[in-house]
Amino acid sequence: MKQLENQIAVVTGAGRGIGRAIALKFASEGADVVCVSRTAENSEKVAGEVRALGRKAWALAVDVSDAAAVSAAAEKILGDCGKVDILINNAGVTRDGLLMRMSDADWDIVLNTNLKGAFLFTKSFTRTFVKQRSGRIINVASIIGLVGQAGQANYAASKAGLIGFTQSVAKELGSRNITVNALAPGFIETDMTAVLGADKKAEILKNIPLNSLGQPEDIANAALFLASPAARYVTGQVLTVDGGMVM
């Protein structure tokens, strides 16, 4: 039997990169997947890939920082799917820049997407998880939330906040058999890192003991563990997947 047989997983930021890899990994392990992305085009594309694996899929275009939009999406998801077993809060953006030059808008969009979005989706499904006395919540943070990074004060703050949010909600919901954990990816080959020049990548590799950038599938495999029965006694933890960069 597959590890996630007949479970319903909601994945935000599913349109590409890590979110897409998680959606497909979960589908390959028997889950039906709600693919949430900012654009209908991206969410529909990944939903089609999930269906090609023989699983059900739903596609939703949602601005995760919009409380009304998230509430409406959650209501539709529960109406269409009947339940939710796993929530992956993965949606994220960057707006890098030195603090002295960072605009209020660049601060707000990163905090609202990366942190508030996770809050809104988690809150929307908490009552459902509590009622069914089960649930897995996995928040995709970053090693930048653990160690910081020059030029990423907004991103670091959002990811550090996500880790604190993870630990607090884990304590709130643990008695209801709901686990809440975070993943802290290192430098993963996605659209976010594609903009890095060769010199910058070479500099980064010097600090990674495994001497390579990670792949989205590496994060998907870690997410699968946290969502699987094997992690039933794991909650409030931050699993770093970074090739040994932070230790």
CB 13 within 8 A of CB 39: no
Does 117 reside within a domain?
Answer: yes
**Closest of 77, 93, 85 to residue 38, by C-alpha:** 93
Does 2 reside within a domain?
Answer: no
Banded pLDDT at 1 (limits 50, 70, 90): confident
Does 66 reside within a domain?
Answer: yes
The one catalytic residue in 121, 129, 155, 187 is 155
Note down the domain range covering 194.
8-240
Does 1 reside within a domain?
Answer: no
pLDDT tens across 16-62, in order?
A: 999 999 999 999 999 999 999 999 999 999 999 999 999 999 999 99
Domain count, the chain: 1
For the residues 4-20, what does the mean pLDDT come to?
A: 97
pLDDT tens across 196-241, in order?
A: 778 888 889 999 999 999 999 999 999 999 999 999 999 999 999 9
* Sole residue written with tokens 């349109």: 15
- For residue 197, the model assigns a pLDDT of 76
Does 106 reside within a domain?
Answer: yes
- The dihedrals phi and psi of 232, each to the nearest 5 degrees, come to -60, -25
Does 245 reside within a domain?
Answer: no
**Closest of 246, 199, 228 to residue 2, by C-alpha:** 228
Does 246 reside within a domain?
Answer: no
Is 155 one of the annotated active-site residues of the chain?
yes
pLDDT tens across 130-170, in order?
A: 999 999 999 999 999 999 999 999 999 999 999 999 999 99
- For residue 195, the model assigns a pLDDT of 74
Look up the CATH number of the domain holding residue 19: 3.40.50.720
* Sole residue written with tokens 């905090």: 111
